[in-house]
């Protein structure tokens, strides 16, 4: 079985837990996910099956969408409601207009410091592993971009929708919004509703998958951010030979029909070298 499975990850499971359960359901060893989703979050998780695991280095996952809730009156060591909470009295809640005005200031490119509970590695160890040991690591701010930020509802809790670049931490965004409003606040709910062109309504629950009620995406459907090039001498491609192509794109996918054969990278003057066979 080869292909890409869009899973609706349930709350309370790690992404690794989901992969392990899918191994048992599908009776497969060769399986992996394309990007971690927090245990207390739910939503779109892209899982690669069989030979489709080969495409992992070429999946961009540039844009992600989340629906989140932020609750006033708390701080937390994990920046969310599931950490060690400290409660504060909310003397006066901000108005809807104040919330909207502050949210507009977070649009566009900006620097964000990753939280200690992130999966970023420092000296070969993930930040959340340091956090579990009570160790605080200095983190460098990273550039992120927020494309859309909408207020969905506001009744003491803020519910928002965020379309952003990969690597944006919504828990940090919620805390920053609260701080800019002169408040204390933490993330209290998180759903990933989109990874690039793939949305929550295209996903399958673990129960549906267990019942055989699912279908897979092909490599051809997932890698379409790259130029697709038809090359007649497929044997040369399968043998990993350098080839001449009438383009100058940095990375292209060699295809035959609707099958992606290989990823090729530009060297110079239209000469491309094989990066990986994908058949």
Clarify whether 38 is annotated catalytic. Answer: yes
pTM: 0.90
Same fold: 63-195 with 226-277: no
What tens digit of pLDDT does each residue of 228-271 get?
999 989 999 999 999 999 999 999 999 999 999 999 999 999 99
CATH fold group of domain 3-59+198-218: Pseudouridine synthase (3.30.2350)
Which one of 38, 80, 176, 196 is the catalytic residue? 38
In the CATH hierarchy, which top-level class contains the domain 63-195?
A: alpha beta
Is the confidence at residue 58, as pLDDT, over 90?
yes
Is the confidence at residue 133, as pLDDT, over 80?
no
Structure tokens, 269: 């003057």
CB 261, CB 254: distance < 8 Å: yes
* Residue of 201, 126, 167, 142 whose CA lies nearest to 35: 167
Mean pLDDT over each residue of the chain, to the nearest integer: 93
Structure tokens, 105: 């200031």
Structure tokens, 11: 């709350």
Q: Please tell me the distance from the alpha carbon of residue 122 to that of residue 54, in angstroms, as a whole number.
A: 26
Residue with tokens 């673990």, as numbered in its chain: 206
Query: What's the average model confidence in pLDDT over 134-140?
Result: 76
Q: What pLDDT sits at residue 99?
A: 97
Q: Where are the domains of the chain?
A: 3-59+198-218, 63-195, 226-277
For residue 43, name the pLDDT band (cuts at 50, 70, 90): very high
Is the confidence at residue 22, as pLDDT, over 90?
yes
What tens digit of pLDDT does each residue of 172-202 get?
999 999 999 999 999 999 999 999 999 999 9
Query: What's the average model confidence in pLDDT over 209-236?
Result: 95
Q: What pLDDT sits at residue 134?
A: 76
| CATH homologous superfamily, domain 226-277 | PUA domain (2.30.130.10)
Q: What pLDDT sits at residue 113?
A: 83
């Amino acid at each position: 079985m080869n292909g890409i499975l869009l899973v609706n990850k349930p709350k309370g499971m790690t992404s690794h837990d989901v992969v392990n359960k899918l191994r048992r359901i599908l009776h497969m060893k060769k399986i992996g996910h394309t990007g971690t989703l927090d245990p207390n979050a739910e939503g779109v998780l892209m899982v690669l099956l069989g030979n489709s695991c080969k495409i992992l280095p070429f999946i961009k996952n540039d844009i992600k969408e989340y629906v989140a809730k932020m609750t006033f009156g708390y701080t937390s060591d994990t920046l969310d409601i599931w950490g060690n909470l400290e409660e504060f009295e909310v003397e006066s809640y901000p108005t809807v207009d104040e919330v909207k005005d502050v949210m507009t200031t977070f649009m566009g490119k900006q620097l964000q410091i990753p939280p200690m509970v992130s999966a970023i590695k420092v000296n070969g160890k993930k930040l959340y592993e340091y956090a579990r040991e009570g160790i605080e690591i200095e983190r460098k701010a990273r550039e992120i971009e927020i494309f859309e930020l909408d207020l969905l509802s506001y009744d003491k809790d803020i519910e928002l929708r965020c379309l952003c670049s990969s690597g944006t931490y919504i828990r940090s965004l919620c805390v920053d919004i609260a701080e800019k409003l002169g408040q204390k606040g933490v993330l209290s709910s998180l759903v990933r509703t989109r990874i690039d062109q793939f949305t929550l309504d295209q996903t399958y629950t673990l129960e549906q998958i267990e019942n055989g009620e699912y279908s897979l995406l092909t490599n051809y459907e997932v890698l379409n951010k790259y130029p697709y090039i038809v090359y007649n001498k497929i044997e040369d491609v399968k043998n990993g030979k350098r080839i001449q192509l009438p383009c100058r794109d940095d990375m292209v996918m060699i295809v035959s029909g609707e099958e992606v054969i290989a990823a090729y990278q530009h060297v110079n003057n239209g000469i491309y070298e094989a990066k990986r066979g994908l058949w």
